[in-house]
Amino acid sequence: MKQRKRWRFVALFLAVGLGTLGLDFGLSGSAGADAQTLTTPQPSVQLRSEPYSTYIHEQTETILKNLQETGDFVGAENSLDQLFQQAIAWVDDDDINALSEVDLTFRLISGLGQVQDASHRMDLLNYLLANRELAATLAILVEPDKQNVPDIYNLLYRMHHELGSEPAEYPDLTAAICAVLYQPLGVDINENHVQSADPVALFKFYVNNQDRMFFGIRDMPAELLVYVVDSHSSIQDLQWALDHFHGNPLVGQLFFSIKYDENVLYFDATKKVDQVGYTLPNIYQYGGVCADQAFFASEVGKAIGVPTSYDTGISSVTGHAWVGFLEADQGRGWWNFTIGRYAEYQGVIGRVIDPLSRQVVPDSFISLSAQLIGTTQRQRQNAVALTDAAIRLIATDFGALSFTPDQPPANIIGIRQNPRQLSTETELDFLWSAVEQCNGYAGAWDVVRYLASQGKLSLRQKYDWADNLMQLCGSRYPEFAMDILTPMVQTVSDVNQQNELWNRMYTIFSEKRFDLAACVRMYQADMWEKAGNDQNAGECLLDVVNQYANAGPYVIDALQKAEQILIKEGNQDRVVTLYEQAWAKIVPPPQMAAIFVEESNWYQVGSMLAQKLKDAGQISQANQVASELAAATTRVAAQ
């Protein structure tokens, strides 16, 4: 098991996803500052003259045949890893398919090798080699250090034996269900716990109703189907939703089809739907709050075959939930996070649960998946393989793995004249090629982010990647751009150069995304404070207080840090004025229950101000502020 453990360690060590995209399988068809040449020991056997892609295909098939005969998964992994190293070093830039084939084969065998039951493992191997499209689609969705890999393949074993030939007939649907529902999904929607249906029953639901699915289930790639099958409703509820709403392309409008339970908003009362049972029909009949509206719309979307997400975020007033959903037209797709939420919360950074990793991520990571529409399976395959190649080299650079690629046999044509050099430049070349193949593959961008966070990118490389990223994502996926760019900027050692990059980001975000602009200013404040320039740090913090007091929760952090700077500089007498001016800029929340008022910036900053006034001996002023706060939390109950 040595080789498998080493690769699993590398994935965890790099803290990046190794891919979430589907691809073809088994079909023949880019360290420190000083670069070093990849080692190339001479092979003991010479093969006949042939194209490198043919050679790779023959070698891969031989390894698989031997595995079927011997059941030696560890030996097969070692052989595939060695072949992958060779391809990384020698494959020509125009022959990415050869790299892809061996990469996917390694992924498949590495995953299957973790199945504990030997008979199940071999049964699955033979089944998947007889159904290559399913094998490829599933293997590429598996993230070894974010999912329970044995459970994924055990679910496939169950589906294969309970459903016969059907799972292979619907490879994308089967792969999505196995990669998402290998263990039950569960989440709390406020006080209600919801859980996914049985995966086999869910498969039958989608197959039996495939003609009524808005985008269908045969043509949609598994990478998008994962946002359909990650449902938290019973089959009965899904059938009800399909019967009532099938064919509706504007899932976001369903958010407003649910009546808002104003007794909860104004009086903190128990919701009616909680009393009768938390089901989709009951939510539709009795209403709820924004969380219930978002849950209803997202679940109905999944029931009718539309990829959806349940979003949450925090504004300057309170927490909120809304729905995102996929739209497409003429081969172009995009996620809509706008029409399925209240206008007051437009622009608030959204967070969703990634159905594959089950981790909370910015919704922009999901929205980038819309770029997959219009790409070919081969392009997505190549993007994943090129990213895996970069990761394999990074692991060598960090000392996690050795890298000793064999030289291809003599007379093999279609290879490089000299092997690639082991360097950050080579890693970035692979990653850039991956982005060129499929710019919607977030995994490639994530590895670039990792390299930046480790200080591996030069200033010129950071500028180049930042420019490319902003051209792709700056306006359409601003949170994604922010997340990828941040470590690039933070690792610029020269404070003035780093400040210039922050200002470029600020200019981009300041017109439409006040929350991100405020976030940039907070990063700048941290930069100046670490550089010992409290004056510039304070100016950035005051900018947040003065301009973005109503743009999310940033003002509270900005106030606390600005207070620390004032005290550090001996200006304690200005602290009260700081809080007074900030509180005056914040818009009080609308009339609502106390529990919601107390979450607002206005209430929290007011509470802080009251305490500062009290500490300064201004008891009368402190009591006046406290009275305003108390009135805001009791005025509804008094009516």
Q: Is residue 591 part of a domain?
A: no
Angle at which helices 290-303 and 235-245 pack, to 10 degrees? 80
- pLDDT over 80 at 116, yes or no: yes
In the block, tokens 């490829």 appear at 136
473-476's contacts with Cβ under 8 Å and 24+ in sequence apart are: 473/364, 473/368, 474/508, 476/334, 476/367
Give the Cα separation of 23 and 221 in Å (integer). Answer: 10
- pLDDT over 80 at 253, yes or no: yes
The whole-number pLDDT of residue 35 equals 45
The CA–CA distances, whole Å, from 147 to 122, 201, 311, 356, 450 equal 21, 22, 22, 7, 20
Label residue 347 by pLDDT band (50, 70, 90).
low
Judge if 128 and 202 occupy the same domain.
no
The whole-number pLDDT of residue 592 equals 61
Q: Is residue 518 part of a domain?
A: no
The whole-number pLDDT of residue 498 equals 94
Least confident span in 58-67, 102-111, 333-342, 613-622: 333-342
User: pLDDT tens-digit profile of 378-414?
Assistant: 888 899 999 999 999 999 988 898 999 999 998 899 8
The whole-number pLDDT of residue 7 equals 43
Q: Is residue 329 part of a domain?
A: yes
- pLDDT over 60 at 40, yes or no: no
The whole-number pLDDT of residue 579 equals 93
Which of 300, 330, 358 is the last residue before a domain boundary?
A: 358
- Residue 300 sits at the vertex; the CA angle it makes with 295 and 303, to the nearest 5 degrees, is 130
Q: What are the φ/ψ torsions at residue 41 (nearest 5 degrees)?
A: -65, 145
Count of the separate structural domains present in the chain: 2
Label residue 456 by pLDDT band (50, 70, 90).
very high
Q: What percent of the chain has pLDDT over 90?
A: 56
- pLDDT over 70 at 153, yes or no: yes
Work out the mean pLDDT of the chain and round it to a whole number: 86
The whole-number pLDDT of residue 553 equals 77
Label residue 34 by pLDDT band (50, 70, 90).
very low
Looking only at the bridges linking them, the beta strands covering 360-362 and 351-353 are: antiparallel
* Residue 298 CA from chain centroid, whole number: 18
Q: Is residue 196 part of a domain?
A: yes
- pLDDT over 60 at 252, yes or no: yes
The whole-number pLDDT of residue 297 equals 95
Judge if 218 and 121 occupy the same domain.
no
Query: Which of 193, 196, 189 is CA-nearest to residue 226?
Result: 196
Mean pLDDT for 263-268 is: 56
Judge if 113 and 220 occupy the same domain.
no
Label residue 338 by pLDDT band (50, 70, 90).
confident
User: pLDDT tens-digit profile of 479-511?
Assistant: 888 888 899 999 999 999 999 999 988 988 888
- pLDDT over 90 at 104, yes or no: yes
Which residues are paired to 327 by β-bridges?
334
Judge if 18 and 160 occupy the same domain.
yes
Judge if 119 and 241 occupy the same domain.
no
Give the Cα separation of 55 and 406 in Å (integer). Answer: 14
Higher pLDDT, 411 or 424: 424
Q: What is the helix (H) or strand (E) element at residue 349, kind and residue range?
A: none
Q: Is residue 618 part of a domain?
A: no
The whole-number pLDDT of residue 52 equals 93
Judge if 148 and 248 occupy the same domain.
no
Label residue 245 by pLDDT band (50, 70, 90).
very high
Q: Is residue 214 part of a domain?
A: yes
The whole-number pLDDT of residue 368 equals 85
- pLDDT over 70 at 474, yes or no: no
Judge if 219 and 78 occupy the same domain.
no
Label residue 344 by pLDDT band (50, 70, 90).
low
User: pLDDT tens-digit profile of 5-18?
Assistant: 444 334 434 444 33
Q: Which residues of 195-231 are buried (b: 16+ CB within 10 A; e: fewer)?
A: ebbebbebbebbbebeeebbbebeebbbbbbbbbbbb
User: pLDDT tens-digit profile of 357-367?
Assistant: 898 888 877 88
Mean pLDDT for 146-155 is: 92
The CA–CA distances, whole Å, from 24 to 27, 58, 129, 145 equal 7, 16, 12, 23
Q: Which range is most confident: 168-182, 350-364, 436-450?
A: 168-182
Looking only at the bridges linking them, the beta strands covering 186-189 and 192-195 are: antiparallel
- pLDDT over 80 at 27, yes or no: no
Judge if 223 and 99 occupy the same domain.
no
What type of residue is 452? A
The whole-number pLDDT of residue 349 equals 73
Label residue 113 by pLDDT band (50, 70, 90).
very high
Query: Which of 100, 94, 128, 90 is CA-nearest to residue 418?
Result: 90
Judge if 208 and 240 occupy the same domain.
yes
Residues 6+ apart with CB under 8 A from 511: none
Q: Is residue 308 part of a domain?
A: yes
The whole-number pLDDT of residue 284 equals 94
Q: What is the helix (H) or strand (E) element at residue 404, kind and residue range?
A: none
Judge if 256 and 239 occupy the same domain.
yes
Reported in sequence order, the residue ranges of 454-561 that DSSP labels E, i.e. its strands, are none
Least confident span in 328-342, 377-391, 589-603: 589-603
- pLDDT over 60 at 229, yes or no: yes
- pLDDT over 70 at 267, yes or no: no
Q: Is residue 255 part of a domain?
A: yes
Higher pLDDT, 44 or 576: 576
The whole-number pLDDT of residue 182 equals 95
User: pLDDT tens-digit profile of 270-281?
Assistant: 778 888 999 999
Judge if 214 and 233 occupy the same domain.
yes
**CATH code: domain of residue 249:** 3.10.620
- pLDDT over 50 at 257, yes or no: yes
The whole-number pLDDT of residue 434 equals 95
- pLDDT over 80 at 617, yes or no: yes
Judge if 32 and 167 occupy the same domain.
yes
User: pLDDT tens-digit profile of 520-566?
Assistant: 999 999 999 999 999 999 999 999 999 988 877 788 899 999 999 99
Domain region containing 227: 186-358
End-to-end CA, the chain: 70
- pLDDT over 70 at 264, yes or no: no
